[in-house]
Amino acid sequence: MWNPAEHSDDDNARWARLRAIEWIGWPDFISQPIVPVLLYFCPWMSVMGALAAIALLWRVLVVPAWVSPVTAYIGVLFVQTKFIAAPLMAYLLWQRGERALALAALVWPWLGPFLIQCVMVIPMSVLRATPFGKKTLQIDAVQQRLLSAVGVQPTKTKAPPMQ
């Protein structure tokens, strides 16, 4: 687990910013090792539709109400299993004769979260236009909540004057 006492203010801010980006897009992020497995067992359209729905619900219901530094930390470790899951599932799909799905499973960890973000552009634009979205889906707001959750009092730093 991240211990802010062992790190500088800049390191803590960087850690919280990365975790905030992952937290806002948690379903996309955590899907990297999961979707290749699901592609083996479920129709791809069902997997994509469910992931898009979960991603939208996550952003609307969970992100504004809750942050968990422990879950965020464990998620980073879990996502590393993509290096096993994606090639293994691609191989199994290839052996089953599903070449296109094998390729999709292999490249999902790199392209999948990007594709989900593309699907989420319009709903997130509409949500960000509301006062609710401005307060809860901004990376800075989630970063500040994560810093507070690990016991760091966030401070606003001023940029040095230009010379």
21-65 confidence digits (pLDDT tens): 999 999 999 999 999 999 999 999 999 999 999 999 998 889 888
* 85 in a structural domain: yes
Q: How many CB atoms lie within 10 A of CB 141?
A: 16
Domain of residue 139 covers 9-149
* 1 in a structural domain: no
* 4 in a structural domain: no
* 110 in a structural domain: yes
To which residue do tokens 């960890």 refer? 109
33 and 79 in contact (C-beta within 8 Å)? Answer: yes
* 41 in a structural domain: yes
* 106 in a structural domain: yes
Predicted TM-score (pTM) of this structure: 0.83
Per residue in 77-109, is it b (16+ CB within 10 Å) or e — as a string?
eebeebeebbeebbebbeeeebeebbebbbebb
* 91 in a structural domain: yes
* 44 in a structural domain: yes
Q: How many structural domains is the chain composed of?
A: 1
- How far apart, in whole angstroms, are the C-alpha atoms of residue 150 and residue 9? 13
How confident is the model over 74-121, as pLDDT tens digits? 999 999 999 999 999 999 999 999 999 999 999 999 998 888 888 888
Q: How many CB atoms lie within 10 A of CB 49?
A: 12
